[in-house]
């Protein structure tokens, strides 16, 4: 009726009762505004997000034992690189040769990587096991070469002579261990090795 204030004019201009925002919309819930279609961070389905702990397998680990190819084919599969795969006995022999050939590095330190490299290139395409062990021996000898250079630099402060002696024993002992393991068809990984080749 004329002269009576309306319900809308009973509230100050621009004021909305609690719980309303605009035309019947409620205020954002505690925690902030969420746009339509918003999804919380994290895996949203199969194959998305980061893998669970322990689910990631770096390359170069999980070497197959002698006589077994990599899952899904690849090196060591029948007919790889147009050559027949090696027999288990040949695999053990070539893997052991890859490790023992690195003893050349004891006498001429930069030759230690030559033997494993030759085995990797010539016999690696015929056997996953041989290639994995040749790569391991190659990385070990590259690491020994790096350590040798550091030890020679330290000779000027005398501690380098001790480091060179320790490095000599280190290379001989672990090369023999690797040769024994691979002769039994067991994969071997050297300690303190910088794995530059995969």
The DSSP annotation for 88-113 comes to HHHHHHHHHHHHHGGGHHHHSGGGTT
Cβ atoms of residues 133 and 123 within 8 Å: no
Gap between the Cα atoms of 108 and 94, Å rounded = 22
Residues 107-121: tens digit of each pLDDT: 666 688 899 999 999
Report the predicted TM-score, pTM, of the whole model to 2 decimal places.
Answer: 0.59
Gap between the Cα atoms of 127 and 68, Å rounded = 8
Q: Please count the other Cβ atoms lying within 10 Å of the Cβ belonging to residue 195.
A: 18
Write out residues in the chain with pLDDT < 50, as ranges. 6-12, 19-20, 22-23, 26, 38, 40-61, 69-79, 81
């Amino acid at each position: 009726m004329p002269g009576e204030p309306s319900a809308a004019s009973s509230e100050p201009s621009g004021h909305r009762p609690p719980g309303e925002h605009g035309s019947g919309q409620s205020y954002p819930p505690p925690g902030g505004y969420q746009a339509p279609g918003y999804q919380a961070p994290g895996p949203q389905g199969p194959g998305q997000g980061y893998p669970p702990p322990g689910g990631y397998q770096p390359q170069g680990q999980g070497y197959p034992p002698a006589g077994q190819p990599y899952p899904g084919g690849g090196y060591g599969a029948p007919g790889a690189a147009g050559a027949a795969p090696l027999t288990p006995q040949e695999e053990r022999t070539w893997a052991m040769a890859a490790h023992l050939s690195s003893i050349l590095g004891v006498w001429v330190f930069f030759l230690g990587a030559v033997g494993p490299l030759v085995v990797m290139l010539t016999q690696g395409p015929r056997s996953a096991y041989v290639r994995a062990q040749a790569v391991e021996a190659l990385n070990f000898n590259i690491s020994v070469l790096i350590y040798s250079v550091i030890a020679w630099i330290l000779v000027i402060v005398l501690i380098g002579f001790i480091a060179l002696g320790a490095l000599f024993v280190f290379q001989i002992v672990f090369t023999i261990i690797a040769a024994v393991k691979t002769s039994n068809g067991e994969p071997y990984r050297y300690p303190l090795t910088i794995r530059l080749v995969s």
